[in-house]
Structure 1
Amino acid sequence: MALVTSALVQALFVGFRRDFQTAFDQTPTDWQKIATEIPSTTKSNTYGWLGQFPQFREWIGPRVLKDMAAHGYSIVNKDWESSVSVKRTDIEDDNVGIYSPLFAEMGRAAKSQPDELVFPLLKAGFSTLCYDGQPFFDDEHPVYANADGTGAVTLVKNHDVDLAARPTNPIWYLLDTSRAVKPIIFQNRKSPVLTSMTRLDDEAVFMNNEFRFGVDARNNVGFGFWQLAYASNQPLTAEHYADARAAMQSSKADGGRPLNIRPNLLLVPPALEAAGRKLLVKDENGGNEWANSAELVTSNWLV
């Protein structure tokens, strides 16, 4: 039977942290493909600039300075945690190897946590508001006649989803991820940190005969520009794909300036992966007109 000492517990923590970090480093993620990471230093960030698409003008006279649009779109950071307890008796019996997979799984979960936030946010885009006060995927995004956000309003649609058929027809998404700000914002206040409570006189050791280990993080997600995303639950065919591209590429900023949207990523749930591959991969005869027109990303988080 091993004598449980502070030095032994700390040595075990070094091993557990190695298991955690190895799994963390080896876990693949996709959220960076559709989300921009924004560092946060406070409880929340306000993105007043989301109402603007910067543009150049001929420099005649003084510079024209645009105020940040007062949309007041804020993302409030949330706290996240995952914890594991290790029985003191398992340390005494030299049976700690059974915990290595748990710490590895904790590392995997910590690395993939942004994926679990970013992709489901798109699914919630029909009911979750973006910077203009409308749902991210909506029929009534306002675009103004004048560049300063005044004048007549044109209502713009960025989806082709039959909501009545939504439960049975899977939704696919066409995105422009080439901009500095992608369709989703991942706001990071605190990256995952693994900590421990391993003092021999800790209350949990005294009361429950166990040592505690945990990882915590602070972050949240929100929407960027709705113009960079289009959703559809029409069949994923060349015809509907072309319609989605055309709708995005016709987008204009306030004042009528073309936004030069370049759809470059097709995001699908697993049920549409085969259709997506057929659409975007060049066929044997070279007859697929949309081959290589976008990157295909399949996400299990869209199920």
Structure 2
Amino acid sequence: MSIQSILQSIQQYETVIIHRHVRPDPDALGSQSGLAHMIKDTYVDKKVYVVGEEDERLTFLAQMDDVTEEMYANALVIVCDTANQARISDQRYSLGAALIKLDHHPDVDDYGDIQWVNTNASSTSEMVYELYEASKEYGYNYVMSAQVARLLYAGIVGDTGRFLFPSSTARTLQIAADLATYDFDRTALYDGMYKTSPAIARLKGYILQNFTISSAGVSTVKLTKETLEQFHVTPSQTSAVVGLLGEVEGMLTWAIFVEEDEQIRVRLRSKGPAIHNVAAKYNGGGHPRASGATVYSKEEMEQLVADLEQVTIDYVRK
């Protein structure tokens, strides 16, 4: 990988379309939209678009553009924060003239004409900041605005759990400190990212009353459609409760199963065991300690729990 080749490609194309993964989180949106605004601010005549499904919880961060298939002709496509192609939001990503993969997850799919994968980065937003720094070194002189700083800061905060996760390095904190010098409201940003509605607060109470934990330290909770309706919570809103069980003593890994119309969304977290390979086995992926998956039956759900139990037992035995 050459950062210089990424900068050269961005300069070369008049149209740039940026994708990210399905079910976006702050890092997916922060890196995607932060990079988009940075390119727009640097090359004012370029046409730069962001695409993917909207998440109502995060529209305060960024909103997507309407892009037709014809707009992909002769366009550079960049995919942020997505290890495997099946999880790219809007599968038209392959219609462009060239493709760049920009990601910090463990590599799953080998795709893209240019790939920059850095698993040591706390977030893809951190990598976009590094692209900004490299642009100065190579003479491209990207512009860093308060709007871009806000988006990248949100991505870093989101993927580091407010700097609590081990992925937060001294380098991460240095970058965050630099972004914090720009004029955006960090208090309002935190409020938008972490505010809890009464419905979510009540759902958290339900989870704390109904979780199970095995002797190995594996916990599971199933949120049926009826339960979600009872608490007036949508499946996408359950992302707000995924970290809750990490506060329970003795918990090593946990899975929250969220029932949808034709599938069961699985939110996986860990306090040590690597769970991303389990997620990849069930139509998902992610980080060693934070991943997502999808299953389609009770049997698949039970098998995933068994696999999660096994990786946790293996971790404890080491």
- TM-score for both structures, normalised by structure 2: 0.24
Between the two structures, name the one with larger relative contact order (CA 8 Å, sep ≥ 6).
Answer: 1
- Greater C-alpha Rg: 1
Structure ranking higher in strand proportion:
1
